[in-house]
């Protein structure tokens, strides 16, 4: 099995892709050992002393002024985990939990959390065994850390929680024992360090971002196929137009559309004698819209990559090589960067779907596309793509509601001690349904555009677009008359998410969505 060596503070996006996918093992770079030990020694000294230190010998949140006796410090940490396991809802997907385990280990290994090596190793051991803690999806407001979901993850490490095995909840302890992993025993501050932090919201947002790669590539391809099916102009993709604006994503997107259309017989067939002056925006403005979404996704990538490498618990330990040290309370657990990034990605996902829905509407409108009404030969007897478009419209409308920013909806918690929260965890979690909606919209567009191409035969499209057409036809036959269309939509949905169109886009145009 391939192995990834984690260098704390330097995890790459490529490594995060592999971690999410699974099938790899994780190890910690040797350089982390000494700083972890120095940090842990600071906390152990604080626990042995008399001065109050938040989270070490005090209660939590509004109870921070309550002192805890030395003999109860371990119980304090265990009780913290138990009491914070209050999540509800469906379990998080295994890929998300794998990202949580890995990024929490990497964060603690930065040596500012005061935990022992055993804590980091426990996270790595569970990951390497292929175990997936059972973590309910709902219950975090994205501040003071993702407390509830990270507590469920931690309780599994302690042998008192649950694991997700073949989609079913099972007790964690037998699974740990089966793989020779001793349940973790917490010491001072370690429970707090494990559940303070943004690893759940970050993992959910990373899941959304990594899924967006395939969706975005598929939308570029489906948009180009619709352009050719509608016999649209490639003039709006002229590089000079985009160079004078200077937006990098727009320039790259326009270049991709140009490359996808090179050599199309359909395009050449209407260079002379076509009386249309300008195409509708859903065709003409694709580089502007999709380019802006590309830039948006890269901003999100940069924020999330920083957060995946960050130290986000509290209080933090700053231990120096000369033996001096400080423990400082702060607010790195506040997930506002993740919340704003998730909101930005949500808007991009919605926009990709919104303009695709408009292209479907254009294709079925014979007055604009000049194709048969609803893309069927005998309209009236056949409804063609009439109601497939209705489905796309319904999904685009759902996305408009889901794209409302989560980050502006703070609610105070912990008796007003935690009086402004980010809502990053919901903001990131809602990306999944939005991606499903938009992937279905793009799937419907692929079907509609491919049907449009059928009406232009024997003319052919470009080589890459003909490849897309053939790939779609492997599982989705033409529709000269009405047939059961829902299975075709699901097969097209799988094609959108499967990565084949992303590979084709990169191979044909050189465009890489997220490097």
Q: Which residue has the tokens 């231990």?
A: 319
For 66-83, the three-class secondary structure string (H helix, E strand, C coil) is CECCHHHHHHHHHHHHHH
Catalytic residue among 54, 216, 281, 484: 54
Q: How many Å apart are CA 38 and CA 318, to the nearest integer?
A: 9
Contact 162, 169 (CB under 8 A): yes
Q: How many Å apart are CA 155 and CA 388, to the nearest integer?
A: 46
**Per DSSP, what are the bridge partners of residue 28?**
6
Active site residue 54: yes
Distances (CA, A) of 473 to 63, 130, 369: 63, 37, 22
H or E, element range at 275: none
Measured at the CA of 198, the angle between CA 193 and CA 202, to 5 degrees, comes to 140
If you ran DSSP here, which 8-state letter would residue 236 be given?
G
Q: Which two tokens stand for residue 25?
A: 């093992």
Helix, strand, coil shares of the chain, percent, nearest 5, are 60, 5, 35
Measured at the CA of 187, the angle between CA 182 and CA 192, to 5 degrees, comes to 105
For the chain, the distance separating the N- and C-terminal CA atoms, rounded to the nearest angstrom, is 24
Instruction: Give the residue numbers marked as catalytic.
Output: 54
């Amino acid at each position: 099995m391939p192995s990834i060596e984690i260098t704390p503070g330097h995890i790459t996006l490529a490594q995060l892709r592999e971690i999410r996918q699974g099938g790899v093992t994780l190890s910690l770079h040797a350089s982390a050992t000494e700083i972890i030990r120095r940090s842990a020694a600071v906390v152990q000294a604080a626990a042995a002393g008399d001065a109050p230190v938040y989270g070490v010998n005090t209660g939590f949140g509004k109870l921070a002024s309550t002192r805890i006796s030395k003999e109860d410090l371990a119980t304090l940490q265990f009780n913290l985990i138990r009491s914070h396991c209050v999540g509800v809802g469906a379990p998080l997907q295994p890929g998300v939990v794998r990202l949580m385990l890995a990024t929490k280990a990497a964060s603690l290994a930065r040596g500012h959390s005061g935990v022992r090596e055993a804590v980091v190793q426990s996270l790595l051991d569970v990951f390497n065994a292929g175990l997936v803690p059972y973590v309910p999806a709902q219950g975090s407001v994205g501040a003071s850390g993702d407390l509830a979901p990270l507590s469920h993850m931690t309780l599994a490490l302690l042998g008192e929680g649950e694991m997700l095995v073949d989609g079913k909840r099972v007790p964690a302890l037998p699974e740990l024992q089966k793989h020779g992993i001793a349940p973790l025993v917490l010491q001072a501050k370690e429970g707090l360090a494990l559940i303070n932090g943004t690893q759940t919201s970050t993992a959910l947002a990373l899941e959304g971002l990594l899924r967006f790669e395939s969706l975005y590539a598929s939308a570029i391809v489906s948009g180009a196929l619709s352009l050719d099916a509608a016999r649209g102009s490639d003039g709006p993709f002229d590089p000079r137009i985009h160079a004078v604006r200077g937006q990098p994503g727009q320039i790259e997107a326009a270049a991709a559309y140009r490359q996808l259309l090179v050599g199309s017989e359909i395009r050449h067939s209407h260079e002379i004698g076509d009386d249309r002056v300008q195409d509708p925006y859903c065709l003409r403005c694709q580089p502007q819209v999709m380019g802006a979404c590309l830039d948006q996704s890269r901003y999100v990538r940069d924020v999330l990559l920083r957060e995946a490498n960050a130290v986000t618990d509290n209080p933090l330990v700053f231990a120096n090589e000369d033996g001096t040290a400080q423990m400082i309370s702060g607010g790195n657990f506040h997930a506002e960067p993740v919340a704003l990034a998730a909101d930005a990605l949500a808007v991009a996902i919605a926009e990709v779907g919104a303009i695709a829905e408009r292209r479907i509407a254009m294709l079925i409108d014979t007055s604009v596309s000049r194709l048969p009404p609803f893309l069927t030969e005998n309209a009236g007897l056949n409804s063609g793509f009439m109601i497939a478009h209705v489905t796309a419209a319904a999904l685009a409308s759902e996305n408009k509601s889901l794209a409302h920013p989560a980050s502006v909806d703070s609610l105070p918690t912990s008796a007003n001690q935690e009086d402004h929260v980010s809502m990053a965890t919901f903001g990131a979690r809602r990306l999944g349904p939005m991606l499903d909606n938009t992937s279905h919209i793009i799937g419907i567009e692929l079907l509609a555009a491919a049907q449009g191409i059928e009406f232009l035969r024997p003319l052919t499209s470009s080589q890459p677009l003909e490849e897309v057409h053939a790939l779609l036809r492997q599982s989705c036959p033409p529709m000269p008359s009405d047939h059961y269309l829902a299975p075709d939509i699901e097969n097209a949905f799988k094609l959108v998410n499967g990565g084949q169109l992303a590979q084709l886009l990169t191979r044909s145009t050189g465009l890489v969505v997220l490097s």
